[in-house]
Amino acid sequence: MTSPLTHIPKGSRRRPLTIWDIVAVLLVLGALVLLAEGSRALVQPLPEPGLVQISLDPSALPEYALRTSLRMLAAMGLSLLFTFTYATWAAKSRRAELVLVPLLDILQSVPILGFISVTVVFFTSLTPGRVLGAEFAAIFAIFTSQAWNMAFSFYQSLRTVPSELSEASRSFRLNPWMRFWKLEAPFAMPALVWNMMMSMSGGWFFVVASEAITVGDTTVTLPGIGSYIALAIQRRELGAIGWAIGAMLVVILIYDQLLFRPLVAWSDRFRFEQETGAAAPRSWVLTTLRRSRLVSLATAPLAASWRWTYRAFPVSIGRAGAIQATEGTARVLDRLWYVVIVLVTGAAIWKITDFILTGVTLSEVATAALLGLATMVRVFVLIALASVIWVPIGVWVGLRPEAARIAQPIAQFMAAFPANLMFPLAVGAIVALNLDPDVWLSPLMILGTQWYILFNVVAGASMIPSELRDIGSSLRIRGWLWWRRIALPAVFPFYMTGAITASGGSWNASIVAEFASWGDTTLKAHGLGAYIAEATEAGDFHRIVLGIAVMSTFVVVINRAFWRPLYRYAARKFRLG
C-alpha cells in the first residue's frame, strides 16, 4: 500500500501551463460557482406554510437537482466525519465498543421520520424565520440515511486489518496517529468508498421525506428533486415523475464521473493485494488533478502540514514501556463501566416508558409489538431472497474490474431509485389485480436496501488475493467447492456488513413501503412501518415514540442474538492474514 500523500515531482515548477492545468482550473471554478449558486437561498426568509411553490415544469429541475445535490454532499461530509471518529473509537476501545456498537444498531433502526419528527422544530428554531434552519433539518435527515452504513463498514475494516501489517507497523514503531493514516485508514478505504456510493444512494431513497417534511401541523417544503417527486405523486403526474427519473439519472452520472469514479481509482492504490497485470481503475478527473502543475503547487503546503502532524505525536514506545493497568484493576474498571451502562440504560428505558404510557394503553403497546413481528418476518424473508440473488452476482462482478466499472453507475442508479416512484405501478397493480397489500407491498422495502449487500460483496470479492485464486485454479477447484472454500469465506465479513445494514435499512424503509399512496389511493400493509407513518402524519408523538422504541428493540435484539455473533465469527474466522 502506498501513502495517500503525494509530493510535487522535481522540475514541476519549471513546466509551463498545460491542458491539464486548464481543465483542473475549470473543474475547481465550476464547483465553486455551483456551490455559490446553490447557497444563495440559505439566508432568505422561510416562506409561510403553504406558500412554497414547487413547480412541476421540467425547466425547474436543474435548480432543484443542484439544491438536492448540495444537501447530499453536505450530509456526506458529516457522515465521513462521524465515520472516522465514531467507528474508530468503537474499533479501538473495548469499553467504548460495548456502548457504541449497540447504539449504532439503535440509530440505524430509528426511522428517518422518527429523526425528522424530533429534530425539525429544533433546527428551525436555530435560525428563526430563515431557510437555513430547514436546510439543517433536511441535511440531518439525509445524514441519518448515510452515516450508519459507512460507520459499520469502517468499523469492520479496522477490526480485520491483517495481523502481518499490524506487526509491521509495530516493528516500525509508528505512533497511533501514523498507524491510523498509514495503515488502518488506507486498508479500509476501498470498502469505505464503495459504501460511500451506497450511502449516497441511500440518501436518494429518503430524499422525498427529507425535503417535503410534514409532522402534525408543521410543514417544511424545500426546493429539490424530493419535493418535486412528492408533488408529482400527490397530483398523479406520471410525466413529471419521468422527468424526475431523468434528472436523477443525470445527477448520478455526474456524481459518478466527478466524485465516485475518481475515488474508486484513487482508493485502488490502497488495496491489500494488487493482482499482477490487472488493469487499474481509471478516472479522467483524477488524471487531470494528478497531472496539473497548479494543483500540485496548491496542495503542497497542505501535504507538508499533514506530514508535520506525524512528527507532532510521540513515537509509540510499545508494550514494554507503556503504563499498563494490572489485571485486577482492569477487571474493576470493567465492572464499574458495566454498572454505568446498566444505570444509564435503565434510566433511559424508564423515561421512555413513562412518556409512552402517559399517552397510550398497554393494549396499544401489544398491538405495536405484534405489528413489529409482522415487519420482522418481511425483513428476514427479503434479506434471504436478496442474498441468494446478489451474493453470486457481487462475487462475479468483484472478480472482474472491467465489469465492476460498468456495473458501478448502473448499481448506483438502481440503488438511488426511490421506492416512491414505484408506487404508481405497485398501487395500481395491487388494486387492479385485487392482491394482498401485506404481501405485495413488501418488495418495496428491499428496493433500496438490497444494494448494501451487492456493494459490500463486490468490495470483498475485489480484495480476494490473486494467490488464493491461483491456488484454486492450480488445484482445479470448481463449482460448489470453489464457493465453499474460496469465494464465500473471502466475502463473508463484507457480506455481514452489508446484511446488517440492509436489515436495518429495510426496517427503516418499512415506513415508506408499508404505507403507500398514489394520489387519493392509499394502501396499507399491517406492520410497524405503517404504524409509525400514520402516527407521524397525525403528529401523535406518544405513538411515534412507541413505534420507534418497539422498532429499535426488535433491531437491537435481532442484531445481538443473530447478526453480531455471525459478524464476530466472520471477523475471527475469515480475516485476511
Task: Enumerate domains of the chain plus CATH numbers.
Answer: 14-302+333-573 (1.10.3720.10)
pLDDT in tens, 118-144: 677 778 777 776 777 888 888 888 898
Residue 64's nearest CA partner among 211, 255, 241 is: 211
Distances 356 to 51, 352, 373, 460, 551 between C-alpha atoms, Å: 35, 6, 20, 43, 14
What lies within 8 Å, CB to CB, of 46 at 6+ separation is: 124, 129, 130, 131, 133, 134
Q: What pLDDT does residue 14 have?
A: 52
pTM (predicted TM-score): 0.74
Distances 418 to 168, 244, 414, 513, 536 between C-alpha atoms, Å: 45, 11, 9, 11, 20
Buried/exposed 63-100: b ≥16 CB within 10 Å, e otherwise: ebbbbbbbbbbbbbebbbebbbebbbebbeeeeeeebb
Here the cell at position 14 is 519549471
What lies within 8 Å, CB to CB, of 317 at 6+ separation is: 173
Classify 356 as helix, strand or coil. helix
Q: What pLDDT does residue 11 have?
A: 47
Distances 391 to 155, 403, 490, 567 between C-alpha atoms, Å: 21, 15, 12, 16
Q: What pLDDT does residue 2 have?
A: 45
Q: How many CB atoms lie within 10 A of CB 280?
A: 11
Q: Phi, psi (5° rounding) for residue 476?
A: 55, 45
pLDDT in tens, the chain (577 residues): 444 444 444 544 555 677 878 888 888 888 777 777 766 666 666 666 555 578 888 898 998 888 888 889 999 999 999 999 999 999 988 888 888 887 887 777 677 766 676 677 778 777 776 777 888 888 888 898 888 889 988 998 888 888 788 888 888 888 888 889 988 899 889 889 878 887 887 777 777 777 876 655 566 778 888 888 888 887 878 888 889 888 888 888 888 888 888 988 888 888 765 455 556 777 888 888 888 888 888 888 888 888 888 777 665 544 444 444 566 676 777 778 778 878 887 887 788 787 777 878 888 889 999 999 999 999 999 999 999 999 999 888 888 877 777 776 677 667 666 666 676 677 778 877 888 888 888 888 887 778 888 888 887 887 777 777 777 777 777 778 888 878 888 888 888 888 887 887 788 778 778 887 766 777 888 899 889 888 877 778 788 888 888 888 888 888 888 887 887 777 666 655 5
Distances 371 to 247, 286, 549 between C-alpha atoms, Å: 37, 49, 13
